[in-house]
Amino acid sequence: MAEQTAPPLDLKPLYDPPADLKSRLKASYDAIAPRYNEWTIPHSTTRLRYLDQLLGRLPTTTSSSPSTPVSVLELGCGYGVPVTQKLLSYPNFSVTAYDLSSAQLALARASLLPGPPGPAHGRLTLLEGDMLALDFTPATFDAVVGMYSIIHLPRAEQVEMLRKIVAWLKPGGWVLANFAAEELAGREMQNWLEEEKGWMFWSGWGSEGTVEKVREAGLEVVVQETVEDAVNAKFLWILARKSDS
């Protein structure tokens, strides 16, 4: 299923990620934020389809039907549209939304928390920095969502990130994330979406390797599907659950 298109990728294989990987990614996303949002937000079918599968397993509610509070961590929230926005549409949800890009978080703040205090105020926390440096009390979240974000970490860091996520989840909590379907020690592109601005890096264990890493981290894989997506790349989508014990 092709979700969106972009110029062909001129990818260079990498085996040793650059030491300044995170700062280069931040600078790129800060620079291309408006262009990236213009390109990706109108083509959110796949994101929302898998988000709905997660929501179907959580106690969602409406303002007229109170329910159990739900706490969600979103890794790589970007502009916050449409995923963070949809999570906040449920009044029993509180969302901790992280992104590497200060430009994207500024846009998210303006979009999701506009003007005087509204329904989302008090239920949304925006965080910036290195994903791997995040620190939360164990068993904090009912769900963790990572769309097109964990793929920017070097492979060893992806394994560490999964272990952190499992620790942060409550018993019975859920993870929804996508990963590179192809096995990649590391790849970069010098000009992604915009000339001289969009340096990018991706890596992955491939579909089989990723499922193995997810299970080794302590999760039961409930959904695993490979979808042809942006820039003619294939992504492995995983919905997994932490045990109740």
- Domain of 123, CATH number, reads 3.40.50.150
pTM for this one? 0.90
Structure confidence at residue 245 (pLDDT): 81
Q: Is residue 106 included in any domain, yes or no?
A: yes
Q: Which of 115, 116, 106, 108 shows the shortest CA–CA distance to 88?
A: 108
Split at pLDDT 50, 70, 90, the class of 121 is confident
Residue 65 φ/ψ, nearest 5 degrees: -135, 85
The answer for residues whose C-beta is within 8 angstroms of residue 52's C-beta and 6 or more apart is none
Q: Region 142-147: what's the mean pLDDT?
A: 98
Split at pLDDT 50, 70, 90, the class of 2 is very low
* Highest mean predicted confidence (pLDDT) among 60-74, 89-103, 229-243: 89-103
Q: Region 108-121: what's the mean pLDDT?
A: 79
Q: Is residue 216 included in any domain, yes or no?
A: yes
Q: Region 119-127: what's the mean pLDDT?
A: 86
Q: Is residue 3 included in any domain, yes or no?
A: no
Structure confidence at residue 232 (pLDDT): 72
Judge whether 59 and 82 are in contact, CB under 8 Å: no
The rounded mean pLDDT for the chain is 89
Q: Region 88-111: what's the mean pLDDT?
A: 96
Structure confidence at residue 9 (pLDDT): 46
Split at pLDDT 50, 70, 90, the class of 1 is very low
- Whether the pLDDT of residue 62 is over 80: the answer is no
Q: Is residue 2 included in any domain, yes or no?
A: no
Q: Is residue 28 included in any domain, yes or no?
A: yes
The range of the structural domain enclosing residue 110 comes to 11-242
d(CA 228, CA 220): 24
Q: Region 135-154: what's the mean pLDDT?
A: 97
Count of structural domains within the chain: 1
- Whether the pLDDT of residue 3 is over 60: the answer is no
CA dihedral over 90, 96, 99, 105, signed as positive or negative: positive
Structure confidence at residue 191 (pLDDT): 83
Strands 141-146 vs 70-75: parallel, antiparallel or unpaired: parallel
Q: Is residue 1 included in any domain, yes or no?
A: no
Q: Is residue 5 included in any domain, yes or no?
A: no
Structure confidence at residue 115 (pLDDT): 66
- Whether the pLDDT of residue 214 is over 80: the answer is yes
d(CA 105, CA 103): 5
Instruction: Give the angle subtended at the CA of 136 by the CAs of 85 and 103, to the nearest 5°.
Output: 45
